[in-house]
Amino acid sequence: MKIKLATAAILFASTAIASAADLATKAPYAPLPVWNWTGFYIGGHVGAGWGTTESTIAAVTPAAVALVGGLPFGQNSRSGVLGGGQIGYNWQSGWAVFGVQGDIAGLDVKGTQPCLSLGICTSKSDWLATVSGRFGGVVADRTLVYVKGGAAWLRSDHSLAFPPAFGPFPATSGSTTAVGWLLGFGAEYAFTQNWSAFIEYNYMDFGKKSISMDLSPLVAVAGTTATIDVKEKLSVAKIGVNYKF
């Protein structure tokens, strides 16, 4: 009797082990896909911009007008919102990630301040475009921290107006498309195999750009034109998403 029970137990154990092995062969666990930053991506962003505009009268025509070059014209602080899109490519080697990216955004960043004691100067930026290189490192499973640098283009309108109390003087204005440099840093997190979200800060300096303005209403001499040197600086903080192909 004991022999029969032992034999039955051995047969049962053998059958259970064989069944478990068969199940393991037929239905293995699928490994989780490994995230890699290499590839093309496209996305969108929103954010805020703020900065300063400094302007100086560099020259006046005709020269007989009693104004001299170097006279401060106006300075204002400006701020506002922006929104746009970006496209780029990343290449990952180990923990390091290299990339190149192009951005374009529409802006509503403006500021208004008194200028020349009598007038009101307004600066408003309409669009911003950048091309930059990126270098970063993977600091967690799907988190990328990076720095970036490159070139930036900023389109702005600058205007001078006078209060009604000074008479019916028409407003005068000029536009610039300034080229400058960009430095920035950010962090990006991949929350699916294709989608990621990022937060980023950029600082841009556009150097000096010259525009022409009609100052006839101010000096009461017809045909008076001033060359205005404009210096612009802009900071941008933004958040956005990317889709990696």
What pLDDT, in 10s, does the model give residues 150-176?
A: 999 999 998 888 777 666 667 788 888
Alpha carbon distance 21, 75 (integer Å): 79
pLDDT of residue 65: 52
Torsion of CA 14, 15, 17, 21, to 10 degrees: 130
Counted domains in the chain: 1
Instruction: With respect to residue 145, please indicate whether it lies within any of the assigned structural domains.
Output: yes
Instruction: With respect to residue 129, please indicate whether it lies within any of the assigned structural domains.
Output: yes
pLDDT of residue 18: 47
Torsion of CA 85, 82, 131, 40, to 10 degrees: -20
Instruction: With respect to residue 226, please indicate whether it lies within any of the assigned structural domains.
Output: yes
pLDDT of 64 above 80: no
Instruction: With respect to residue 1, please indicate whether it lies within any of the assigned structural domains.
Output: no
pLDDT of residue 61: 79
8 A C-beta contact, residue 153 and residue 179 = yes
8 A C-beta contact, residue 154 and residue 209 = no
Higher pLDDT, 136 or 165: 136
SS3 2: helix
Range of the domain at 123: 37-244
Instruction: With respect to residue 100, please indicate whether it lies within any of the assigned structural domains.
Output: yes
Instruction: With respect to residue 176, please indicate whether it lies within any of the assigned structural domains.
Output: yes
pLDDT of 27 above 50: no
Conformational region of residue 105, where left means phi above 0, alpha means psi within -120 to 50, and beta covers everything else: beta
Higher pLDDT, 34 or 128: 128
Confidence of residue 9 (pLDDT cuts 50, 70, 90): very low
Torsion of CA 74, 75, 78, 83, to 10 degrees: 70
Which range has the worst mean pLDDT, 31-40, 56-65, 91-100? 56-65
Alpha carbon distance 1, 77 (integer Å): 99
* Phi and psi, residue 6, nearest 5°: -65, -40
Instruction: With respect to residue 114, please indicate whether it lies within any of the assigned structural domains.
Output: yes
Confidence of residue 220 (pLDDT cuts 50, 70, 90): low
pLDDT of 24 above 70: no
Looking at the chain, the whole-number percentage of residues with pLDDT higher than 90 is 51
Whole-Å CA distances, 41 to 104, 152, 243:
15, 20, 5
Position 211, amino acid: I
Question: What is the reported pTM?
Answer: 0.80
Instruction: With respect to residue 32, please indicate whether it lies within any of the assigned structural domains.
Output: no
Looking at the chain, the whole-number percentage of residues with pLDDT higher than 70 is 76
Alpha carbon distance 61, 127 (integer Å): 31
Instruction: Compute how many other C-beta atoms are within 10 angstroms of the C-beta atom of residue 134.
Output: 22
- CATH code, 192: 2.40.160.20
Helix (H) or strand (E) holding 25: helix 2-26
Chain-wide mean pLDDT for the chain?
A: 82
pLDDT of residue 161: 81
**What would the mean pLDDT of 224-240 be, rounded to a whole number?**
91
